[in-house]
């Protein structure tokens, strides 16, 4: 009996040892950060933004209050634009995993998006619709660049920022000239082409768990991760698909708007926009069907 217990205990020890050997985080090197990282510029803007850290109230502001807010935030938005000219990659979680700094960074990102939206709204009120559209585009580009190299939470924050910019762009689009409409198409094409796939983000999330992103509980979190994040991943996939479809459809609308300004009449069908205004007709990412003008 004792011998059987000893053998059983030995097998358990061997099994646990093998599991630890297989699952213990390995020192897999991160890709090097860009020498000039746009993410560093993004992280500097919080102190430049208007003082309120509460939910933005700019939609209810008078035009004078709105103008004051936009002036205050001008330097911050210019710094974001500087960051957008560079490669961007999130600083590895190993440098922030044990602090609340990264959560604070994500809160600042939302304030940046609302600062862009406020500036876009003011431009519309001032009759500068083209400028309003460019500001909204910059917000969408920021939301796309911000989470590069990060994990699920980074991507969800970036998508939320893109929704804010997209709403502003929809408001400005029909007032733009043909040249700006073409710029919208080209810029949204770049945003779509440079986006990270959600499966790539999920893979990085798992890898960072292996590296001990969650500190000493990293090993146990890794074992539970597939179960704990199942719902989160499903929601994230829906958000990835929804923002992609929204951006693709807005790109289609911008191309149609440029066509109408050039020809004095709207296109009959989406095919009329290819290849002069669109490289190809956007596809619905959910079902793969070509989008149509409504």
Q: What is the mean pLDDT of each run of 10 residues along the chain (294 residues)?
A: 62 56 54 90 88 66 91 95 95 55 76 95 97 98 95 92 97 97 98 93 79 52 59 86 96 98 96 96 92 88
Domain tally for the chain? 2
- According to the model, what pLDDT value does residue 108 have? 85
Pick the last residue of a domain from 176, 200, 235. 176
Query: pTM of the entire structure?
Result: 0.85
Q: Are residues 62 and 159 in the same domain?
A: yes
Structural domain of residue 280, as residue ranges? 217-294
The residue among 126, 159, 176 that closes a domain is 176
Could you identify the residue written with the tokens 């500068």?
Answer: 128
Q: Is residue 258 part of a domain?
A: yes
183 occurs within a structural domain: no
Does the residue 6 lie in any domain? no
If asked whether residues 221 and 171 sit together in one domain, one would say no
Note whether 162 and 229 are same-domain residues: no
- Whether 167 and 237 map to the same domain: the answer is no
Whether residue 245 lies inside any domain: the answer is yes
């Amino acid at each position: 009996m004792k011998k059987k217990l000893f053998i059983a205990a030995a097998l358990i020890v061997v099994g646990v040892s093998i599991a630890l050997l297989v699952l213990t985080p390995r020192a897999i090197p991160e890709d090097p950060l860009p020498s000039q990282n746009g993410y560093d510029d993004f992280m500097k803007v919080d102190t430049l933004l208007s003082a309120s850290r509460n939910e933005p109230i700019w939609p209810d502001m008078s035009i004078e209050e709105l103008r004051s807010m936009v002036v205050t935030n001008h330097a911050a938005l210019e710094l974001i634009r500087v960051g957008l000219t560079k490669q961007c990659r999130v600083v590895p979680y190993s440098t922030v995993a044990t602090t609340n700094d990264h959560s604070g960074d994500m809160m600042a990102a939302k304030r940046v998006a609302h600062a862009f939206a406020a500036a876009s709204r003011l431009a519309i009120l001032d009759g500068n619709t083209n400028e309003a559209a460019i500001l909204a585009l910059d917000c969408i580009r920021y939301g796309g660049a911000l989470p590069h190299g990060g994990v699920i939470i980074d991507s969800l924050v970036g998508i939320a920022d893109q929704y804010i910019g997209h709403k502003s762009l929809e408001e400005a689009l029909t007032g733009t000239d043909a040249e700006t409409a073409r710029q919208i198409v080209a810029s949204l094409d770049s945003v779509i082409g440079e986006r990270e796939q959600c499966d790539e983000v999920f893979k990085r999330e798992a890898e960072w768990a292996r590296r001990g992103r969650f500190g000493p509980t990293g090993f146990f979190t890794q074992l539970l991760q597939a179960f704990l994040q199942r719902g989160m991943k499903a929601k994230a996939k829906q958000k990835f698909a929804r923002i992609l479809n929204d951006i693709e459809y807005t790109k289609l609308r911008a191309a149609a708007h440029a066509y109408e300004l050039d020809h004095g009449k709207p296109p009959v069908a989406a095919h009329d926009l290819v290849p002069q205004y669109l490289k190809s007709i956007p596809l619905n990412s959910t079902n793969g069907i070509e989008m149509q003008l409504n």
